[in-house]
């Protein structure tokens, strides 16, 4: 049985206020093209379909086109989808009954009472049956109905659900889950956004040993493709880099070949080529300009300038790099290594100093409204 594992599409996401719909459309078309060539029996989508709980009409249309294109393939793959923490479970569940008749199974809501169980989908091939357990994103507060009340943390919440529904070990078993799983002796690779949302005290962390009974675990939540302890417990990662910290990730589709029960799954990565790369460039202004080459560079770039003296670089760089994410300065001044007589005086107005810096870096002055906002922030900071 051949499976495709993807997750964290984040349709509708913006990168530093740049719309990524064009890049995401190209990404989804590549996935459909691979599916047409490789003919997977099932496509597993492990959560965070959308970037927001109320996605834009354009993002919803993009996903609808994607599902339609996959459903039009012959042979038609089964499409199994779970909700992630960015998704609205209610919105994602809409028309799920109709979609099920078209081989699209969506599990968006965690069990809401003793009578409800996780969705299990059974597929068959020449080696027998494979059960797919669908575990959408769950928080401890969603499980107050358990006999012992609300679980203490995410680990206990997931453990409680899986303990109620043990897999049939005579079959092959696959689980889809969108949570933060961690192996006992290995730290996961995190992107910038993930280090921000991890809770203090590690309450989000779930021990990967809960997945030991499954022949493959298709995980979503982390944007970097990686295994979690065992080779067949994996995050597929996001199919497109959504921050500069992801520029070196190997983005793609995880392809899994499941054979007879007890055999090790064959796992490979089908590489996705981004329409525009997301990357960092470092050097002097002259070196950065030369790095663009003769043509305009269409990549999304974060630029670090190392010149000791800079005069309004933004307008110069924008001509070669129309998709600048950020411009940073790393020189003697920024590292605090300038002589005392060159430092900003302690009595200089902070708002004025910021206004000068902003204009130097962006080649335009602050608007009156922006200046007022900065002055208000400085006043509030002074009151702390």
The CATH number assigned to the domain holding 242 equals 3.60.21.10
Dig out the tokens for 90 from the structure: 């209610």
Identify whether residues 119 and 6 lie together within a single domain: yes
Q: How many residues comprise the chain?
A: 384
Angle at Cα 305 formed by Cα 299 and Cα 310, nearest 5°? 125
pLDDT in tens, 13-59: 999 889 999 999 999 999 999 999 999 999 999 999 999 999 999 99
Segment holding 356, helix H or strand E: helix 350-362
Angle at Cα 242 formed by Cα 87 and Cα 273, nearest 5°? 110
Q: What is residue 119's predicted lDDT score, i.e. its pLDDT?
A: 96
* Closest residue by Cα to residue 55 from 24, 80, 31: 24
Identify whether residues 312 and 356 lie together within a single domain: yes
Domain housing 348 = 278-382
Identify whether residues 324 and 364 lie together within a single domain: yes
Distance between CA atoms of 254 and 356, rounded to whole angstroms?
49
Q: What is residue 342's predicted lDDT score, i.e. its pLDDT?
A: 47
Neighbours of 69 (CB within 10 A): 16
Identify whether residues 27 and 172 lie together within a single domain: yes
Q: What share of the chain is helix, strand, coil (3-state, %, to 5)?
A: 30, 25, 45
Q: Is 218 helix (H, G, I), strand (E, B) or coil?
A: strand
Does 351 score more than 60 pLDDT? yes
Q: Which of 271, 286, 311 is the last residue of a domain?
A: 271
* Closest residue by Cα to residue 183 from 162, 201, 209, 203: 209
Q: Which of 256, 271, 286 is the last residue of a domain?
A: 271
Identify whether residues 28 and 119 lie together within a single domain: yes
Does 296 score more than 50 pLDDT? yes
% of residues, the chain, pLDDT over 70: 89
Whole-number average pLDDT of the chain: 88
Query: Quick one: pLDDT band at residue 199, thresholds 50, 70, 90?
Result: low
Identify whether residues 48 and 141 lie together within a single domain: yes
* Closest residue by Cα to residue 184 from 233, 237, 228: 228
Answer positive or negative: Cα dihedral of 196, 202, 207, 211: negative
| DSSP type of residue 107 | E
Does residue 78 contact residue 42 with C-beta atoms inside 8 Å?
A: yes
What is the residue whose two structure tokens read 């809770």?
199
- φ, ψ (nearest 5 deg) of residue 285: -55, -40
Identify whether residues 106 and 239 lie together within a single domain: yes
Residue 107: is it exposed, middle or buried by C-beta count within 10 angstroms (0-12/13-18/19+)?
buried
pLDDT in tens, 166-185: 999 999 999 999 999 999 88
Identify whether residues 58 and 167 lie together within a single domain: yes
Q: Which of 255, 271, 287 is the last residue of a domain?
A: 271
Identify whether residues 81 and 140 lie together within a single domain: yes
What is the residue whose two structure tokens read 């393939």?
73
Does residue 16 contact residue 54 with C-beta atoms inside 8 Å?
A: no
In the chain, the number of structural domains is 2
Identify whether residues 318 and 225 lie together within a single domain: no
Dig out the tokens for 377 from the structure: 């922030």
Identify whether residues 228 and 377 lie together within a single domain: no
pLDDT in tens, 89-122: 888 877 677 777 778 999 999 999 999 999 999 9
Identify whether residues 129 and 167 lie together within a single domain: yes
């Amino acid at each position: 049985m051949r499976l495709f594992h993807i997750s964290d599409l984040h349709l509708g996401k913006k990168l530093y206020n740049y719309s990524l719909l064009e890049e995401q459309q190209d990404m989804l078309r590549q996935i459909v093209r691979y599916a047409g060539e490789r003919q997977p029996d099932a496509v597993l989508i492990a959560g965070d379909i959308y970037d927001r709980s109320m996605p834009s009409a354009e993002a919803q249309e993009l996903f609808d086109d994607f599902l339609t294109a996959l459903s039009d393939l012959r042979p038609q793959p089964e499409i199994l989808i779970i909700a992630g923490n960015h998704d609205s479970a209610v919105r994602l569940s809409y028309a799920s009954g109709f979609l099920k008749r078209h081989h699209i199974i969506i599990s968006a809501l965690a069990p809401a009472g003793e009578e409800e169980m996780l969705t299990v989908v059974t597929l068959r091939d020449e080696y027998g049956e494979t059960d797919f357990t669908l575990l959408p994103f769950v928080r401890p507060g969603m499980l107050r109905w358990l006999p012992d009340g609300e679980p203490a943390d995410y680990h206990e919440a997931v453990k409680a659900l899986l303990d109620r529904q043990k897999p049939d070990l005579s079959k092959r078993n696959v689980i889809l889950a969108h949570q933060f799983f961690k192996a006992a002796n290995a730290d996961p690779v995190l992107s910038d956004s993930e280090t921000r949302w991890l809770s203090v005290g590690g309450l989000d962390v779930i021990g990967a040993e809960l997945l030991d009974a499954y022949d493959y675990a298709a995980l979503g939540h982390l944007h970097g493709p990686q295994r979690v302890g065992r080779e067949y417990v994996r995050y597929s990662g996001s199919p497109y880099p959504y921050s500069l910290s992801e520029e070196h990730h190997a983005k793609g589709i995880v392809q899994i070949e499941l054979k007879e029960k007890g055999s090790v799954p064959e796992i490979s990565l089908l590489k996705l080529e981004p329409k525009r790369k997301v990357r960092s460039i470092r050097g002097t202004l002259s070196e950065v300009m030369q790095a663009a080459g003769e043509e305009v560079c269409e990549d999304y770039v974060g630029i670090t300038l190392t010149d000791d003296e800079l005069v309004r670089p933004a307008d110069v760089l924008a001509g070669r790099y129309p998709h600048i994410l950020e411009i940073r300065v790393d020189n003697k001044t920024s590292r605090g290594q300038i002589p005392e007589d060159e430092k900003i005086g302690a009595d200089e107005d902070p708002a004025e100093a910021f206004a000068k810096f902003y204009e130097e870096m962006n080649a335009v002055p602050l608007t009156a409204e922006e200046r007022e906002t900065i002055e208000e922030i400085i006043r509030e900071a002074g009151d702390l």
